[in-house]
Amino acid sequence: MSVTSELWFEEKLELDSGRTLKIRINRLIEQFESPYQRIEVYETVPFGRMLVLDGVIMCTEWDEHAYHEMITHVPLFTHAKPERVLVIGGGDGGTIREVLRHPSVAQADLCEIDGDVVRLSRTHLPSMACALDDPRVTIYHEDGAKFIAERPNHYDIIIVDSSDPIGPAEVLFSEEFYVAMRGSLREDGIAVTQSESFYYHASIVKRLTGFAKKHYAVAGYYNTIVPTYPSGIIGFTMCSKKYHPLRDFNEARVTPMQGSLRYYNPGIHRGAFDLPSFIKNEINL
């Protein structure tokens, strides 16, 4: 009989459906109970440092680029000239980091309800939180739904970098929130929301894209590959008042940035909207 001292983290989000993910860890770096959730940062064996909220993996240093680049650059390269950008959630800082790669951005607001996520990310995840002190960034620790309701016709881009639709993020998956985003966008604004996996959560994808079709001139759904997320795939709902993510995509704007990006490129931008037939037929986009 062999004896092992290996330590493992097990995500149990999908356990009721017979699915789990286990990652070998070296140590728990820090655990903190905030007023909203349990925050943990681990040092993993295969994936570098990992941020976990209430037992659910938010990001790892190894594959976060596939998520943060796609939630950001698809809408920002679709919009003609994004100047004011709001990120709701995203306290790890990865989305803000990508937003600030765009020279047209003059204002980047981060609305993260849990200030302790930002604090611990600054300390333990500097590769993601590295842009939070940029002078263009203002950080608010407020409820995202209330925040946008108080700022009508203000933003060119709203990015909802949320956790799953449980706990403090649940309101961000409601029809009322999609209507409120429309009100907070300028006349040619774009919103993009984290919208789960089409393999595991097709009913959620159908509901969110339904809100987009109902309340916006242009609706879309695209995906990216993130191995440490449920099913290895996560998608985003695009809600646009004017611009189409394929017809209005200006590839020439990508060229100056291309050398610094790890996942996103023009081919990935276009291909991310080509969906498998089973989900394409389900959401009818």
Report the catalytic residues.
161
Contact 195, 43 (CB under 8 A): no
The radius of gyration of the chain's CA atoms, rounded to the nearest angstrom, is 18
Q: What's at 269, amino acid-wise?
A: H
Q: From CA 183, how far away is CA 177, in angstroms rounded?
A: 10
Decide: helix, strand or coil at residue 173.
helix
Q: Which residues are CB-contacts of 258 (< 8 A; sequence separation ≥ 6)?
A: 265
User: Which letter, b or e, does each residue of 70-103 get, where b requires 16 or more Cβ atoms within 10 Å of its Cβ?
Assistant: bbbbbbbbbbeebebbbbbbbbbbbbbbbbbbbe
Locate all alpha helices (DSSP H) within 125-262, ordered by sequence. 126-129, 144-149, 175-184, 202-215
> Which of 135, 147, 136, 49 shows the shortest CA–CA distance to 89?
147
**Cβ burial, residue 187 (10 Å; 0-12/13-18/19+):** exposed
